[in-house]
């Protein structure tokens, strides 16, 4: 009995000593500041997407698949081998800032357009990012939408881009350098020359050009499809009304 009591007292002393040592160790360690929201964040690259893939497209020659994901990355894949070729990352922030919802590739395979929930949660606008696919570098921003952009599509000739947004509009943008004209910017920083197609009463979640590039169809959560007939000269047009189709 005495031996058991001795062991219990000894164990208690050891535990008290360990607790005190750990406490003293923590007290003398320098505090580690928490990372600022503006500082780079170290993340593990799994060499694959870690969230839902929102859009996919092939390059014109069919050799490469491009995937756009909610994990804030664009990935290029070798179709034959399945290997990852390149990862493109845009401007990202905390939480959903930088999440990608839509992508489109120009008909010649040189320009990639992507959009989604913007950096700054809309404080700096809701831009469409244009990338040079070969280098992976951003070459331009198209600004004008007032809310998140959910859909993108290039015209067959690659000169124009259609976008659909939660601001209930469809916009038609001239791609910089196309048709021998580079769009200028307005005084408020928005991109000049967007054609604004108004008529939907809820967010637009898909857009597509017709094969001949003369029409655009849009789908909205207002329960309608709208068919928009575009003017022959798209340069400088502003507003159009579309034909409405419902189920």
DSSP states of 124-184: T--PEEEEETTTTEEEEEE---SS-EEEEEE-TTSSEEEEEETTSEEEEEEPTTGGG----
pLDDT tier at 230, thresholds 50, 70, 90: confident
- Cα separation, 237 vs 168, in Å, equals 18
Whether pTM exceeds 0.85 = no
What mean pLDDT is predicted for residues 88-101? 79
pLDDT tier at 14, thresholds 50, 70, 90: very low
128 has pLDDT over 70: yes
| Percent of the chain clearing pLDDT 90 (strictly above) | 41
pLDDT tier at 30, thresholds 50, 70, 90: very low
The SS3 assignment for 199 reads: coil
- For residue range 156-185, what is the model confidence (pLDDT) as tens digits? 999 899 999 999 999 999 887 654 444 445
Which residues partner with 208 through β-bridges? Answer: 217
- Cα separation, 175 vs 159, in Å, equals 5
Q: How many CB atoms lie within 10 A of CB 203?
A: 19
Of all helices (H) and strands (E), which one includes residue 23?
helix 2-28
| Percent of the chain clearing pLDDT 70 (strictly above) | 65
What mean pLDDT is predicted for residues 200-223? 94
50: DSSP letter: S
Given this model, what pLDDT does residue 103 score?
95
Given this model, what pLDDT does residue 99 score?
85
């Amino acid at each position: 009995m005495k031996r058991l009591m001795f062991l219990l007292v000894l164990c208690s002393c050891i535990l008290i000593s360990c607790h005190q040592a750990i406490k003293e160790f923590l007290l003398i360690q320098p505090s580690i500041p928490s990372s600022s929201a503006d500082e780079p964040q170290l993340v593990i690259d799994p060499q694959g997407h870690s969230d839902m893939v929102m859009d996919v497209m092939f390059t014109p020659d069919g050799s490469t698949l491009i995937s756009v994901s909610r994990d804030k990355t664009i990935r290029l894949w070798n179709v034959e081998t399945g290997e990852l070729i390149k990862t493109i990352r845009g401007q990202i922030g905390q939480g959903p800032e930088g999440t990608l919802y839509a992508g489109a590739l120009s008909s010649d395979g040189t320009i990639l357009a992507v959009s989604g929930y913007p950096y700054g949660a809309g404080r700096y606008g809701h831009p469409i990012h244009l990338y040079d696919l070969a280098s992976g570098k951003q070459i331009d921003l198209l600004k004008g939408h007032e809310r998140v952009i959910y859909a993108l599509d290039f015209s067959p000739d690659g000169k124009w881009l259609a976008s659909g947004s939660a601001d209930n509009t469809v916009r038609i943008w001239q791609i910089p350098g196309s048709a021998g004209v580079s769009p200028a910017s307005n005084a408020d920083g928005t991109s000049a020359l967007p054609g604004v197609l108004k008529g939907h009463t809820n967010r637009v979640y898909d857009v597509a050009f017709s094969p001949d590039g003369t029409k655009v169809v849009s789908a909205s959560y207002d329960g309608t499809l709208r068919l928009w007939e575009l003017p022959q000269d798209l340069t400088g047009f502003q507003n159009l009304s579309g034909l409405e189709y419902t189920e």
